[in-house]
């Protein structure tokens, strides 16, 4: 299968920890990337190659993968973390990109 | 710094074509694949295809095969995406994006997006 499945929505209390998951067979063979998108803005990569953070991304954001499931964990969620999060990898051919359906994260 | 600046919003009638441009700066244009991703209002990201500016090689999502064409003009560091036979469901924000060079294949820069509205 060349699909990535995410929960449509999650909420987290301010300062608490939340895990956003992404499932798909592709994750057994290819690294996952995670993008954060705020309303009216282009996406921004927050995790690439499973658990690498670009400069400027806070350390409270981390990634992991086990089998066919990738996770993005935000430890001590802040108001500015409220956004849509998309996982991304490659399909079974390795030539095409695929995106998960996105998870809308609300920080309460 | 790396910049991808896209052309402005378009309104098209069903059956028409649209060509979106993506002018880049701040990096060696031929060295990075360019991917196009679209997003309908309130919906998720949908990958459309990519082009290697160095070779001109392209690969498109099956959904868009026969309707999409991605090209580049290296002399002006610009990528283009043309979508034909437009339908109302093609109304979306279209993003060009750059893939990083290195051991990990990920999008490290995005254009600001181009809104395309298809309506009669």
Digit-coded pLDDT (tens) for B55-103: 999 999 999 999 999 999 999 999 999 999 999 999 999 999 999 998 8
Q: Smallest Cβ distance to A96: which of B45, B59, B100?
A: B59
Q: Tell me the shortest Cα–Cα distance from B93 to chain A, in angstroms.
A: 10
What are the DSSP calls for B27-83, one per residue?
Answer: S-GGGS-EEEEEE-TT---EEEEEE-TTT--EEE-GGGTTTEEEEEEGGGTEEEEEE
Q: Nearest residue on chain A to B96, judged by CA atoms? A: A42
Residue identified by tokens 């400027």 is A56
* Mean pLDDT in residue range B38-67: 96
A90 neighbourhood in chain B, CB within 8 Å:
105
Interchain contact A79–B (C-beta under 8 A): no
Confidence (pLDDT) at B67: 98
Query: Which residues between 18 and 37 in chain A have a beta carbon less than 8 angstroms from any beta carbon of chain B?
Result: 31, 33, 35, 37
Is residue A94 scored above 90 in pLDDT? no
Q: Smallest Cβ distance to A49: which of B44, B106, B113?
A: B106
Token readout for A14 is 């301010």
Confidence (pLDDT) at B64: 97
What pLDDT band is residue A54 in, cutting at 50, 70 and 90? very high
Interchain contact B71–A (C-beta under 8 A): no
Give the number of C-alpha atoms closer than 13 A to the C-alpha of residue B73, restricted to the C-beta side: 8
B95 neighbourhood in chain A, CB within 8 Å:
42-43
Inter-chain residue contact A96 with B47, CB threshold 8 Å: yes
Q: Which residues of A30-54 are buried (b: 16+ CB within 10 A; e: fewer)?
A: bbbbbbbbeeeebbbbbbbbbbbbe
Q: How big is chain A, counted in residues?
A: 108
Question: Measured at the alpha carbon of residue A26, what is the angle toward residues A3 and A99, in degrees to the nearest 5?
Answer: 45
Is residue B50 scored above 90 in pLDDT? yes
């Amino acid at each position: 299968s060349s699909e990535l499945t995410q929960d449509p929505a999650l909420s987290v209390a301010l300062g608490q920890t939340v895990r956003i998951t992404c499932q798909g067979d592709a994750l057994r063979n290819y690294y996952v990337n995670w993008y954060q998108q705020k309303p009216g803005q282009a996406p921004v990569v927050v995790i690439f190659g499973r658990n690498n953070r670009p400069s400027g991304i806070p350390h409270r954001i981390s990634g992991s993968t086990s089998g066919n499931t990738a996770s993005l964990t935000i430890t001590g969620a802040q108001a500015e973390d409220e956004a849509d999060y998309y996982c991304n990898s490659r399909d079974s051919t390795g030539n095409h990109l695929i995106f998960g359906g996105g998870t809308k994260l609300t920080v309460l | 710094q790396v910049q991808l600046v896209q052309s402005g919003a378009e309104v098209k009638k069903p059956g028409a074509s649209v060509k979106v441009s993506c002018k880049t700066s701040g990096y060696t244009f031929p060295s990075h694949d360019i991917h196009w991703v679209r997003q309908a209002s309130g919906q998720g990201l949908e990958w459309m295809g990519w082009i290697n500016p160095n070779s001109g090689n392209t690969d498109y999502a099956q959904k868009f095969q026969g309707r999409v064409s991605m090209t580049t003009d290296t002399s002006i560091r610009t990528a283009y995406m043309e979508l034909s036979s437009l339908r109302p469901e093609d109304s979306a924000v279209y993003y060009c994006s750059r893939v990083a060079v290195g051991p990990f294949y990920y999008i490290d820069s995005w254009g600001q997006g181009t809104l395309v509205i298809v309506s009669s």
